[in-house]
């Protein structure tokens, strides 16, 4: 999708569009999962397991959100940037939007997110830092 959109839009426009699409999806996923789970931690676990089963990649989460306001999410073999190589910057804006939306809806807080490593840009894994704003 990124490649197709890039034929008619600038890179920042593609990233913004994909991020917001992902964010709406993540907000809905988070709200729905929050109703099913007993705790926020259980909701995070349910979502991570569902994402892994769906082939999004192997996911590791360091969830200190309730105590430190920070969470680190790592995707090995991330499906969202599969096939992309030699990107100059992180390429998983759709996934970044999803994760921000999930965190916002689960914790009822505004968050900022940064993909500090991306496999497409030579990072080995895709690693996201999420924190309250």
- Which stretches of the chain bind Zn ion, using CB under 5 A? 81, 92, 118, 126
Angle 84-118-29 from CA coordinates, rounded to 5°: 95
The residue whose two tokens read 């197709």 is: 4
CB of 47 to Zn ion, least distance (A): 18
* Pick 103 or 121: Cβ nearer Zn ion: 121
* Pick 39 or 89: Cβ nearer Zn ion: 89
Burial class (CB in 10 A: 0-12, 13-18, 19+), 124: exposed
CB of 72 to Zn ion, least distance (A): 14
CB of 126 to Zn ion, least distance (A): 3
CB of 87 to Zn ion, least distance (A): 8
* Pick 61 or 81: Cβ nearer Zn ion: 81
**What's the CA gap between 115 and 120, in Å, rounded?**
11
- Taking only Cα atoms into account, the Rg of the chain, rounded to an integer number of angstroms, comes to 14
* Pick 100 or 118: Cβ nearer Zn ion: 118
């Amino acid at each position: 999708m990124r490649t197709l959109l890039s034929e008619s839009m600038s890179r920042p426009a593609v990233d913004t569009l994909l991020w917001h699409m992902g964010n709406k999806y993540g907000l809905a996923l988070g709200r729905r999962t929050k109703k099913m789970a007993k705790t926020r931690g259980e909701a995070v676990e349910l979502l991570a397991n569902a994402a892994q089963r769906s082939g999004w990649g192997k996911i590791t989460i360091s969830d200190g959100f309730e105590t430190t306001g920070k969470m680190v999410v790592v995707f090995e073999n991330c499906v969202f940037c599969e096939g992309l190589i030699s990107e100059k910057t992180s390429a998983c804006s759709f996934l970044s939007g999803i994760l921000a939306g999930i965190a916002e809806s689960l914790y009822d807080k505004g968050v900022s997110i940064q993909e500090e490593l991306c496999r497409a840009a030579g990072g080995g894994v895709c690693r996201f830092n999420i924190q309250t704003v």
